[in-house]
Amino acid sequence: MSRALFIVDVQNDFTEGGALGVTGGDAVAAAITRHLRAHADDYALIVASRDWHHGDHDNGGHFADGEPDFVDTWPVHCVADTAGAEYDPALDTAAVTHHVRKGQGVPAYSLFEGTTDAGESVADLLTERGVVDVDVVGLATDYCVRASALDALAHGRRVRILTDLVAGVADHSSEAALAELAHAGAELSESGA
């Protein structure tokens, strides 16, 4: 078995009611939980990422000083050890094998930019376990899901986006991200969850 599941940023600040909540975020969290209950044994590795920003500065310009441009600067979100940074309550993380924190003082979109509490990188985890295939789910399709999937492709993995287990900020940018990922070699598929 050489398949991994990446669960990208299914956090309170990215689901409905959060600082940067996306429509459908809570439903995606619940659907990922259903997928895990049915398919956790299909994966050699299940990695869940979280933005984990510092609350006392701008995290390398990631937090806006004034009005955010929603491209490079954002409202304050996912500050370490706050409710906004925690996983959405509909996401059952019992099957997760590795938790990754990213954006600790710097902008970070890809799950590959984070590390586990033990300091392991995602690239090293994949290599150590001989993982070739990666399924990607989570939030948001047009930002962190996109960046994580592109990095997985760049690391030589075969990538499948489970399109019913992602939600994005906007329809047009999410559709563009999925088209870009398909063009880059990712498979677009539904989970059946």
* % of the chain beyond a pLDDT of 90: 83
User: Residue 178: pLDDT band by 50, 70, 90 thresholds?
Assistant: very high
User: Is 9 an annotated catalytic residue?
Assistant: yes
**Would you state the pLDDT for residue 150?**
98
**Would you state the pLDDT for residue 74?**
84
User: Is 81 an annotated catalytic residue?
Assistant: no
**Would you state the pLDDT for residue 4?**
97
User: Is 78 an annotated catalytic residue?
Assistant: no
Of these residues, 13, 102, 135, 142, which one is catalytic?
A: 102
Of these residues, 13, 135, 142, 144, which one is catalytic?
A: 144
The pTM of this model reads: 0.95
* Average pLDDT of the residues in 151-173: 97
Q: What are the start-end ranges of the E strands in the chain?
A: 3-8, 45-51, 98-102, 133-139, 158-167, 187-189
User: Residue 193: pLDDT band by 50, 70, 90 thresholds?
Assistant: low
Q: Are 11 and 50 in contact (CB under 8 A)?
A: yes
Distance CA 19, CA 100 (A): 21
User: Residue 1: pLDDT band by 50, 70, 90 thresholds?
Assistant: low
Tens of pLDDT, residues 32-90: 999 999 999 999 999 999 999 888 888 888 888 888 888 888 888 999 999 999 999 99
What are the DSSP calls for 149-173, one per residue? HHHHHHTT-EEEEEEEEEE-S-HHH
- Beta pairing partners, 74: 63
**Would you state the pLDDT for residue 84?**
95
